[in-house]
Amino acid sequence: MTNDSIKAGIIGAAGYTGGEMIRILLHHPKVEIDFCFSRSQSGKKIAEIHSDLFGDTELHFVNQINKNVDVVFLCVPHGDSNMFLENNPFSPETKIIDLSNDFRLKESSNGFIYGLPELNREEIKNSSRVANPGCFATAIQLALLPLAKDNLLDDDIHISAITGSTGAGVSLGETSHFTWRNNNLSVYKAFTHQHLEEIGESLAQLQPSFNKKINLIPYRGNFTRGIIATMYANFEGRQDDAEDLYKEFYEDEPFTFISDRMVDVKQVVNTNKCLLYLEKIDNKLMIVSVLDNLLKGASGQAVQNMNLMFGLDEREGLKLKPVAY
């Protein structure tokens, strides 16, 4: 690394999103990892916890921070970011990217810009504090924003979405044990998921008149990572009209693509992509959205935001290949 490398710190580096952050930044040509903070794993080698990184790094987890790093990523549970920043103030020059939901909503943003590049790219470029969107929120917003831009959301929205087990975090719980999760499927937080408010705010940003109900039924999937979300909206145009609308909206986006055939989770796992599939059925437009909940839904999008904040190519460090099989 050169002296002008971006010095990065990761808080909560032992978790799933923290591990993904380490993997990306180790191979990012413009970044040097300054510290990986974890109280529970302090002193241990990174590869002892993230075993796939054996041979890639000799870094250790630490329980102290460098307050003068160029950028810090908060990969901590919801509710912990605000408290951590209050107890551990960083230099005014340090850029902060939070992956929790502490600063996503306007009423609690505390100066953070909502970090969905496809919606707020220019604001992100000029910001020093970014609130990374939620994983379900990213998948659903990218599926609906083109309709909101043309004021086409005129009714309640109904969404069914399935996420992998990594969405529940690294700590074990009753519904994350293999014996419960394997060969199983279950609904959770129906109509009450914490990502609904940020989705509503983003849709209203493009369609100020939007005041309809967003009905989300989330499922726990029996796979490790990825999200597939299916929704529909009223649409009087033709299939070609819908495709033109979406392709124009995402024409210059490096990670969001419109597929002409049905999409699946394996196409996006281990990438920063979101793939969308559209199908006109009677007077409804069905939209299917797939992404990796740990990358475009978390750490990958955070690095995308970092690239924007530092004036780098948005795709830097994120040219990743899907697992495919």
* Residue 106 to residue 112: CA distance in whole angstroms: 9
Instruction: List residues with catalytic annotation.
Output: 135
Residue in 111, 40, 123 with CA at minimum distance from that of residue 82: 111
Amino acid at residue number 206: L
Strands 227-234, 157-163: pairing kind: antiparallel
* Residue 16 to residue 225: CA distance in whole angstroms: 10
Residue in 24, 275, 254 with CA at minimum distance from that of residue 139: 275
CA 135 to chain centroid, in Å, comes to 5
* Residue 281 to residue 155: CA distance in whole angstroms: 16
Q: DSSP secondary structure string, 117-164?
A: HHHHHHHHHT-SEEEPPPHHHHHHHHHHHHHHHTT---S-EEEEEEE-
